[in-house]
Amino acid sequence: MDKPKSSPSERLFSLSGKTACVTGASSGLGRHVASYLAQNGVTVVGIARREEQLVEWQASVPNKTYAISADLSDKAILADIASHVIDTAGNPDILINAAGINTRQAGDDVTPGGWATTLDLNLTAPFFLAQSFVPGMKKNKWGRIVNFASLQTYRAFPGGIAYGATKAGIAQVTRAMAEDWSRHGITSNAIAPGFFNTELTQAVFADTELAARHAKQTCIGRNGELSDLDGPIQFLCSNASSYVTGQVLAVDGGFTAK
């Protein structure tokens, strides 16, 4: 019996047969994105610092996945990590830079060490991982880079000096990547999530009144649910977004529109 032919829209958004590298795959938004891609026919290499949680993620996804435990804030090993990814699953078609840290320190309390770690993980690692994978993407004349920005790309939050600086920087890195590499079929875009209940935002959601105020600030009237990321990720990683590059897409329920 012949297999039914896929529709033009299905082919436009299809991710089947692609390979993705997802950082921050052990928890939060990174884990959800890594799982979503794997469940939609993508071979996923998940990278995270915490090996136990990363292995648990891998076991939770029945499709083809690989796990690499590494501290991406150590910029001296980024080239080796990229080589490990390529040796494990081939050069990725898709890179999702979701790993991040937010120390939530007031300006008076920021230390040189904390500042450096935040910049290295949130800004340095996304660029140099992309740089390592671009040659293979150029060879294939196809690639998708999706960085994770933030509400703090646009706005100042308490305790957000270092984090906010990196998330403003990731918007410009995204644009600069697009300028350099888009002519080779490699798009570079970013997602700026609103408030999602994850490990990184536990302090926010532990305060129910604060979480409710954030929900009220959105146009939609609620905080984010992990499934709200699925459509934007599908779009930005597929052929549907082939003429979209250098953009930051706010997935925030309209928080930044008000």
Numbers of helices and strands, H then E, in the chain = 10, 7
Residue 97 pairs with which residues in a beta bridge?
Answer: 23, 147
- From the list 36, 66, 154, 163, the catalytic residue is 163
Alpha-carbon distance 235 to 157, whole Å? 29
Please give the order of strands across the beta sheet that includes 186-193: 65-69, 43-48, 19-23, 94-97, 143-148, 186-193, 248-251
Residues 93, 145: contact at Cβ < 8 Å?
Answer: no
Identify residue 31 by its one-letter amino acid code: R
Q: Cα–Cα distance between 8 and 184 in angstroms, integer?
A: 24
Known catalytic residue at 163: yes
- Catalytic annotation, residues: 163
